[in-house]
Structure 1
Amino acid sequence: ISPQTCTEGFAYDRRARQCIDVDECRTLPDACRGDMRCVNQNGGYLPEIPADPEPPSYPRVRTTAQCILGYTPAEDGTCNDIDECETNSHHCNPTQVCINTAGGYTCSCTEGYWLIGGQCQDIDECRYGYCQQLCANVPGSYSCSCNPGFILNTDSRTCQDVDECADEPCTHACFNTYGSFMCNCDEGFELAADGTSCIDLDECSFSEFLCQHRCVNTPGSFSCVCPLGYYVFEDGRSCEDINECDTGNNTCTTAQVCFNFQGGHTCLDPLQCHSPYIEVSDNQCMCSAENPACRDKPFTILYRHMDLSSGRSVPADIFQMQATTRYPGAFYIFQIKSGNEGREFYMRQTSNVSATLVLSRPIKGPREVVLDLEMVTVNNVINFRGSSIIRLTIFVSEHPF
């Protein structure tokens, strides 16, 4: 403000740096004539006539106050601010907002916009990371959202993890993770394709060697079963033979002998020697050399029994045979006399007085094989030739164990 800008009735005060009212009553000589009293006004002065019972009629002098730009004179002679925004006398851009100030106005933008080149343009809040996760910009504002597995906090900007396990989405166990969850299944089950339910594992399909005999799948596990005549061993997988002769769980009479084999048993009747043989022990029949009917017959028949697992691997030594009485100058020949029609066996001489019965081909059971193993004694010194028989009954089990 300079002295030239002050309107009439005002003078520039350099100390205050503003226009102040001039007191014309003090500065003007004879401002009011006669007995009129001078009354200073803002921007002028007025003569005041003294009170009189019959006041003479004098014209009143009124000076209109002059206001600076942005103000307008009021009825009481003061200056009131002009609201350019209200009177629509501003020059703000249509995209702008008018804000009235003392003696003027300013043009601004609403929240969510900023002034660029005289125009209000939308602020892209998403560009400046207003949202923690997902952000959608809208004119003058923005909207935050969260990824699956999260929910928006009350501040409408940040996200917090959802504990999906609270809703028990898993069939078995549930583990909450950041933004998601994982399901786990109990032992013996596997996670289905839906990722939440558990289905039973068929352990029996993993291997045919899981059980020695037969595998039975159960929910979350499996069990091994054994055929009749066996029980499941302590390892839960192997089959062990039940010795019916020891447990008493058999149908043999007191006159019979119970013989146990793998997976079963049999009742052996008392030995009956057929003529011309006579019984010399519980398991041996003899034909006396003095009896003419015994000529060309084996001197003795010894009865033996054994068991054999079905499909046993070969070759296998299964029975030992040897001479019990030795004569000077004698030698012995061992051979299978009968019962080997399938050629599953052969005799291997292990010394001059012994031989071994060898299984050369696997035998499938259940089957009962009767072999006559002959030992021929030859003594050329006394011109003697005789033989004895071991009648070996082999009980082949139904199963390979």
Structure 2
Amino acid sequence: MELYLTMRRRADFPFNMDCTPEDMPVDVALRALDVAAASKSPQILLRGNEPLLHPDLEMVLKGFRKRGIIPVIETSGLMPSMAKRLIREYHCRLIWRLYRPSLYSPEDLEEMKANLKEFSDGTITVRLVVMVDDMSADYGFVREYLDNYEFEANLWRFSCLHDQADFSPVMALISDLMREYIGKNLVPALACGVMPCAMTDAQFGFMAKVGGKYARCIPHLGVLPDGRVCHCQAMRMLPGPHISTFKNEGELHQYYIDVFISLQWQLSFCPECNGCPCLSAGLCTGVSMAKKAHGMLAKYEELKAKLAAEQGELSDEARMKLLWEMSEVCMILGLYPDAIECLEEIRRQAPENGKCHFYLGVCYWETGSLAEGEDEFRKCARLSDNPLPALNELFNRFVKNGNTIRARLLQGEIEKEELKLREAQRKS
């Protein structure tokens, strides 16, 4: 889990964030630590523009110590002296962000190198992450740092929104580095956003041979400064519920798998993925979730504008088609209140449509209106020739919600409906 601890910054680097409030309140950070501590293997990464500038950093680190979690901090290397003391006192591990030299002022570059040298004494674990913001730039400067400083690992981070063809120059450099530094047991790892098809067969094969890694596009759970959760930093524009909604990290992870399962397999924005062997072999799920989400959000805005502009000018059939399309896009993006608005209008026009009631059941349930959600699932069951899909969905939601008594009672109803369907099939 990642905590975006503060939006404070020492310099305007690429990948900086702009969220409110500027600093995560300590009680939100501690609640996130509780959620992580309730998990089997709690891991928390402090991120943000420069987490070491958080005014209550020591209180947050005390929370780590109290819960027995090792703090991992991602830093630009530009930090106050107080933060250096806290890093050593609380035995933090560091992930050191390295940007292109031209992005630092001469004074900041000198300070960053001095701080890196200070923490390269072997007492603090340091991992290097190269921030690739310009795919056409020369990143050969990384060799200076790999030669002169000690790192436990070398990670490369990219924007999830790049086209895969853009990766070729950087991937060639990374491939060369793998060969040069294999003797130092420093094999580069690729952050999410890089699909296997961005590499040549030779690059992919060599990376696999030497144990190189690349991250798949799965939930890299984040907590925003206001306490709301997000799938990952690149998808913070689609925040979810408050972190206090969840008991442990497993619940949060499952929430994002459930909410974005349709988006995960949405390939309309990258049709060439359909015939790709990487997809069929399970090596990836197509272009990044963030890229899919941006495509879906563009479609959402387009449909929203159409519905607003053509109010009263569309035929009932044309408007219904737009409403269906809008509701499905909203559900894919997890924008359930917007989906409800569309589906309720469809219900008014077509009250006997079972699919509408099923979708409303899902949306009501996801927004916490459980009684309304159950009512819609049951309406769908009554209106359908086969009531089992709606009843089974309701049963699964009762189980997931911990309502075992209601689930047992509903199981009895399902068994009766199954018996009726078998008898009807025999008669036919």
Please give the TM-score of this superposition, normalised by the length of structure 1: 0.19
Higher helix share goes to which structure? 2
| Higher normalized strand content (fraction of residues) | 1
